A and B are shown apart, each in its own frame.
Chain A
Amino acid sequence: MNGTTTVSFVGVGGQGVLLAANILAQTAMAQGYDVKASEVKGMAQRGGSVLSTVRFGKLVWSPLARHADVVIATELLEGRRALPLLAPQGALICARTIISPGSVLRGETQYPQDIEAAAAARSVTLLLVDAEAVARQAGTVRAANVALLGAASAKLPFNEAAWQQGLAAAIPAKILDVNQRAFALGREAHLNEEVTL
C-alpha cells in the first residue's frame, strides 16, 4: 500500500523466524529505505506458529499490514496457512521443511499436501526451497532460515552490499560466517527462478 512493500515471515517457534525478519529489516535500512516491523512472539519458544512482519518503502507509517507482498515461510504447513495473508499476485517463498504439529503426530489430522494447487488457485507465485539441504551444505542445518532468505533475496530489491550489511547487523559475529555461506548458497540456487514481484 502507498509504495510500501510488506514481507511477512512465518514458521514454527524456534526456527529463527524473528532473526530472518531482522536481517531483512536491517538490509532494507542499509539500502536506504524507511522500515517498520512487528512481531508476535509470546509463545515463540513453545513450538507455536510465529509471524513477523517487515515493511519497507520511502516512508512507512504502519508496522502492520493485513496482506503481504511476499511471505517467507520456514515450514511447509505454516507457508500453506499463510496463503490468505498474501496480496493478489504475491509470492510465497517456502522451505520444504516439515514439522508436524501434535494433532498430525497423533493421527488426528492430516498434514496438507496441496500447497502447489492452493498457491495456484490464489494466483500466488510459489518458490519451494530445500532450505535445510542448503544450510547443511553451508555447515549447519540451523542456518536454514538464512539459506531460505538467500533464496528469497534475488526477488527483493536490495543489492549485495546491503544484504551483507543486514546479515552482519543481525547475526552474532560467532556464527556470521556459516550464515553468510548459507545465504550465498541459497541465493545462487534460486537466482534464476521466475518469481516476479
Chain B
Amino acid sequence: MCSVDSLFLSGNEAIARGALRAGVTFACGYPGTPSTEILEVLSATADRDGRVQAEWCINEKVALETAIGASLAGARSLVTMKHVGLNVAADPFMTLSLTGVNAALVIVSADDPGMHSSQNEQDNRNFAKFAKVPMLEPADSQEAYEFVAEACALAEEFDVPVLLRSTTRVSHGRSRVVARAPVAFAPRSYERSIDKFVMMPQFARQRNRLVLERLAKLRERAERTPLNVLEAGTADLGIISSGAAYTYAREAFPKAWFLKLGMSHPLPVEKVAKLYRSVSRVAVVEELDPFIEDQVRALGLPVVGKEAIPADGELDQEIVFAALEPYLTRRPPRRRRPVMPPAARISAPVPAEPQLPVRPPVLCAGCPHRAVFAMLRKHKVSPLGDIGCYTLGALSPLDSLDSCLCMGASIGMMAGMNKVLGRRAVAAVLGDSTFFHSGVTPLIDARYNETDGIVLVLDNRTTAMTGHQGHPGTGVHLDRSAGPALDIERLCQGIGVRCETVDALDTEAFESALKRELGAQGLGVIVAFAPCALMAPGEQQLTVDEERCNLCGLCLDIGCPALAPGETAVEVSAACHGCGVCAAVCKRGALSVAGEPAGTP
C-alpha cells in the first residue's frame, strides 16, 4: 500500500499509530463518528504486537473513568469519543482537570462541523477553556500522528489531561505520514495520594489553585511550543487558524502570513501580537465558534472573523477566499497594539490558626461504613472511592479510600487500574444512591469487558450525605410515599455478576463474604447492608471492661466520635449507637455490646 517511511493514512489511523509510537498501552472509548476508527485500528495493531489493551466501553463517561484508572496505574492512556460524547464524559472530565494524571491521559474529541452524522455541531474547543486544560488541534494526518506523543509529554510535564481535538476532515481525511522513532516511556508506579485524588472540598480547593497556576504556565508554554508557528508571508494579510481550517486558508491565501496553532488553548497572545507587528490586516479562520477570535478581540485588536467566516457548517478554501477577499482592498485598521490580559489573581487560602486542631467531618457514631472500612483495612484492600458520606473513609485514621472523582467513577477507575496491573489490585466502594445514579453502567461495562475486581456497595438505604433522600433502591419518593424498590442483588444477577448481600455490622458474616471474594476470580459485588445510623437509633449498649482495657488504641483507630481515651480505659460518650465495630477490633475483649463480647478470638 505504501512504503515503510511514508504511509497514506486517515487522521484516525494516524492517531492510532501515533498512540502506539507514544507508548500508549491502554485505550478505550465509545464509538461515534468521526472518532470510531481510532480504537479499531489500535486494537488491530495491538493484536499483532500485544502491547496495547484496547476496548469499547459502555459509554464515554465510563470510558474516561476507565482510562483515568489506567493512567493512575501508570500506563499512558488514550480515550476516544465524538464531540457529544464529551458531554456524557463531562463529569469525570471537569474534575480530572483538578486531580491531574499519573501517566499521560489523552482525550480525543472528534468534532463534526457540518453535522455529517451528528445531532448537533458543538465546538469542543470550549471544553478546553471550560476545564482549563491544554488542547492540541492537528490539521492533517502527519500532525495527528505526531501530536499524540506531544500530548503525552505535555500531560506528564504539567500533570494535566490533554484534549486532542479532531474534526471530520482531519479524522476522515487522508494524507501522507512519515513515521517517526518511537518515544521512550517508562511506566509509572501508582502511589496513594488523597490530596491529589480524593476531591472532597478541602483537597479540591488546594488542587483548584494548582489548576490556575498550571494554566498560567501552559500559557507560557503555548508561546514557546513549536506547535504554534508564525509563518512569514509576502502579502499584507495575517491569518490565525488551526486544524482543518488552516489548510483551507493556506490554499486560499498562499502569500499571507500565518499563525498556525497546533496548541490552540491556551492562546499564545505574544505570538498574536507578533503577527500584528508584521501585517496590518489580520483574520481568524476557524470553523464553528469564534473561539480564537473572541480572545483576539479581548486583546483590543481589530480582526476579521465571524462577520465574514460562517459560524456554522464546514469551511473550504472557496468559502474562505470569498469571505476574506473583499477585506484585502479596504483600508486596513490602524490599531495594531494589543492590551495584554493581566495574570489572573488567585485567592489566598483562608488563613487558619495553625495551632488549632481542625475539625473535619467524620463518619457518625454507629455509621455502618466504619465497619466496612475497618474490615477492608484489616485485609489490606485499598478501594477506589466515590461520592457520599463514605468518602470520609479516605481520611485519617481509617485511611482506606484512594480516590473520589465524580458520581459512579469508582467502578470504571477500578476497571482501568486492574486491567493495567493485571490483577485485582484495587476494589471499588460506592453507596447505594451513587450506585443507582451512575454505578450500574460501569458495572455492566465491567461484566462486558471481563474486568477483575470487587465492588462494595455500601447500602445504607438512603442518600445520606444530602439529608436522607429516597432513591430507586428504597423506592421512597420526594413526598416520602412508597414506590417500587429495586433490589441491587437481583439487578447484579440480571447483569450476570456474582453478588452477595451481608449485614455490614455483622463482623463475622461480612468478613467471610469478603474473604470469599478475595479468594475468587473475576468480578464480584458485595452489598454491605445496614441502615444509616441517623435513621436507625441504636438499640444496644456498649460497655467497657476497665480491667481488660489497656488503652492500646485499636478501637480509637477506627475514628469513632463516641470513643475517647480516659485515664485508665476508653470512655464512651452518649453519642454511642452500640454498633459494636469497636468491640470487633478490640483484641482483649474489653468492649462488649449488650453484655456479649464481640470479636474476641
Q: Are A47 and B356 in contact (CB under 8 A)?
A: no
Q: A45-B364, A45-B534, A106-B556 are in contact. Are A101 and B358 (CB under 8 A)?
A: yes
Is A80 an interface position by the 8 A CB rule? Answer: yes
Q: Are A112 and B361 in contact (CB under 8 A)?
A: no
Q: Give complex CA distance A91, B408 in Å.
A: 46
Is B363 an interface position by the 8 A CB rule? Answer: yes
Closest to B351 in A: A84
Q: A47-B561, A105-B563 are in contact. Are A80 and B360 (CB under 8 A)?
A: no
Q: Are A81 and B353 in contact (CB under 8 A)?
A: yes
Is A172 an interface position by the 8 A CB rule? Answer: no
Is A137 an interface position by the 8 A CB rule? Answer: no
Count how many pairs of residues, one from A and one from B, have CB atoms less than 8 Å apart in the complex: 69
Closest to B355 in A: A112
Is A174 an interface position by the 8 A CB rule? Answer: no
Is B359 an interface position by the 8 A CB rule? Answer: yes
- In the assembled complex, the CB of A19 is this many whole angstroms from the nearest CB of chain B, namely 15
Is B254 an interface position by the 8 A CB rule? Answer: no
Q: Give complex CA distance A121, B84 in Å.
A: 59
Partner of A47, one of B361, B396, B467, B565: B361
The listed residue with most A CB atoms (<10 A of its CB), out of B356, B357, B397, is: B357
- In the assembled complex, the CB of A50 is this many whole angstroms from the nearest CB of chain B, namely 10
Interface residues of B in 329-375 (CB under 8 A from A): 351, 353, 355-364
Partner of A109, one of B353, B357, B465, B557: B357
Q: Are A105 and B556 in contact (CB under 8 A)?
A: yes
Is B302 an interface position by the 8 A CB rule? Answer: no
Cβ–Cβ < 8 Å partners of A84 in chain B: 351, 353
Q: Give complex CA distance A106, B398 in Å.
A: 13
Interface residues of A in 8-47 (CB under 8 A from B): 12-13, 42-43, 45-47
Q: Are A48 and B361 in contact (CB under 8 A)?
A: yes
- In the assembled complex, the CB of B198 is this many whole angstroms from the nearest CB of chain A, namely 14
Partner of B357, one of A12, A13, A111: A111
Q: Give complex CA distance A83, B356 in Å.
A: 12
The secondary-structure label for the interface of chain B is: loop
Is B559 an interface position by the 8 A CB rule? Answer: yes
Is A157 an interface position by the 8 A CB rule? Answer: no
- In the assembled complex, the CB of A116 is this many whole angstroms from the nearest CB of chain B, namely 15
Closest to A103 in B: B357
Sorting the interface of chain B by its residue count into under 10, 10 to 19, 20 to 34 or 35 or more gives 20 to 34
Is A104 an interface position by the 8 A CB rule? Answer: yes
Cβ–Cβ < 8 Å partners of A109 in chain B: 357
- In the assembled complex, the CB of A66 is this many whole angstroms from the nearest CB of chain B, namely 10
Cβ–Cβ < 8 Å partners of A105 in chain B: 556, 561, 563-565
Q: Are B397 and A102 in contact (CB under 8 A)?
A: yes
Q: Are B356 and A112 in contact (CB under 8 A)?
A: yes
Cβ–Cβ < 8 Å partners of A101 in chain B: 357-360
Q: Are B467 and A48 in contact (CB under 8 A)?
A: no
Is A69 an interface position by the 8 A CB rule? Answer: no
Q: Are B357 and A47 in contact (CB under 8 A)?
A: no
Is B553 an interface position by the 8 A CB rule? Answer: yes
Is B296 an interface position by the 8 A CB rule? Answer: no
Cβ–Cβ < 8 Å partners of B556 in chain A: 105-106
Cβ–Cβ < 8 Å partners of B360 in chain A: 48, 101-102
Q: Give complex CA distance A46, B357 in Å.
A: 17
- In the assembled complex, the CB of B533 is this many whole angstroms from the nearest CB of chain A, namely 10
Is A77 an interface position by the 8 A CB rule? Answer: yes
Q: Give complex CA distance A165, B279 in Å.
A: 73
Q: Give complex CA distance A103, B561 in Å.
A: 10
Q: Are A12 and B359 in contact (CB under 8 A)?
A: yes
Q: A45-B534, A47-B361 are in contact. Are A100 and B564 (CB under 8 A)?
A: yes
Is A140 an interface position by the 8 A CB rule? Answer: no
Q: Give complex CA distance A111, B201 in Å.
A: 24
Cβ–Cβ < 8 Å partners of A106 in chain B: 397, 553, 556-557, 565
Q: Are A80 and B356 in contact (CB under 8 A)?
A: yes
Cβ–Cβ < 8 Å partners of A47 in chain B: 359, 361-362, 364, 561
Q: Are A46 and B392 in contact (CB under 8 A)?
A: yes
Q: Are A46 and B364 in contact (CB under 8 A)?
A: yes
- In the assembled complex, the CB of A59 is this many whole angstroms from the nearest CB of chain B, namely 28
Q: Are B359 and A48 in contact (CB under 8 A)?
A: yes
Q: Are B359 and A78 in contact (CB under 8 A)?
A: yes
Cβ–Cβ < 8 Å partners of B564 in chain A: 100, 105
Closest to A49 in B: B359
Is B389 an interface position by the 8 A CB rule? Answer: yes
Cβ–Cβ < 8 Å partners of B359 in chain A: 12, 47-49, 77-78, 101
- In the assembled complex, the CB of A40 is this many whole angstroms from the nearest CB of chain B, namely 10
Closest to B395 in A: A102
- In the assembled complex, the CB of B194 is this many whole angstroms from the nearest CB of chain A, namely 16
Q: Are A77 and B357 in contact (CB under 8 A)?
A: yes
Q: Are A13 and B356 in contact (CB under 8 A)?
A: no
The interface bits of chain B over 526-563 (1 if a CB of A lies within 8 angstroms of the residue's CB, else 0) are 00000000100000000000000000010011010101
The interface bits of chain A over 40-82 (1 if a CB of B lies within 8 angstroms of the residue's CB, else 0) are 0011011111000000000000000000000000000110110
Is A89 an interface position by the 8 A CB rule? Answer: no
Closest to A43 in B: B361
Partner of A77, one of B201, B356, B553: B356
Q: Are A46 and B362 in contact (CB under 8 A)?
A: yes
Cβ–Cβ < 8 Å partners of A112 in chain B: 355-357
Closest to A41 in B: B467
Q: A45-B467, A47-B561, A81-B353 are in contact. Are A103 and B358 (CB under 8 A)?
A: yes
Q: Are A102 and B559 in contact (CB under 8 A)?
A: yes
Closest to B532 in A: A45
Cβ–Cβ < 8 Å partners of A80 in chain B: 353, 356
- In the assembled complex, the CB of B532 is this many whole angstroms from the nearest CB of chain A, namely 10
Cβ–Cβ < 8 Å partners of A102 in chain B: 360, 362, 396-397, 559, 561
Is A3 an interface position by the 8 A CB rule? Answer: no
Q: Give complex CA distance A137, B557 in Å.
A: 36
Partner of A110, one of B357, B361, B557: B357
- In the assembled complex, the CB of B414 is this many whole angstroms from the nearest CB of chain A, namely 25
Interface residues of B in 140-173 (CB under 8 A from A): none
Cβ–Cβ < 8 Å partners of B563 in chain A: 105
Query: What are 23 inter-chain pairs, A to B, with CB distance below 8 A?
Result: A12-B359, A45-B364, A45-B534, A46-B362, A46-B363, A46-B364, A46-B392, A46-B465, A47-B359, A47-B361, A47-B362, A47-B561, A48-B360, A77-B359, A80-B353, A83-B353, A100-B564, A101-B359, A102-B396, A105-B561, A106-B397, A106-B553, A110-B357
The 9 A-B residue pairs with the shortest CB-CB distance, nearest first, are A48-B361, A46-B361, A109-B357, A43-B361, A101-B359, A105-B564, A49-B359, A47-B362, A103-B357
* New A-B pairs, 12, CB < 8 Å, besides A46-B361, A103-B358, A106-B565: A42-B201, A45-B534, A46-B364, A46-B465, A47-B359, A48-B359, A49-B359, A81-B353, A100-B564, A102-B360, A102-B561, A105-B563
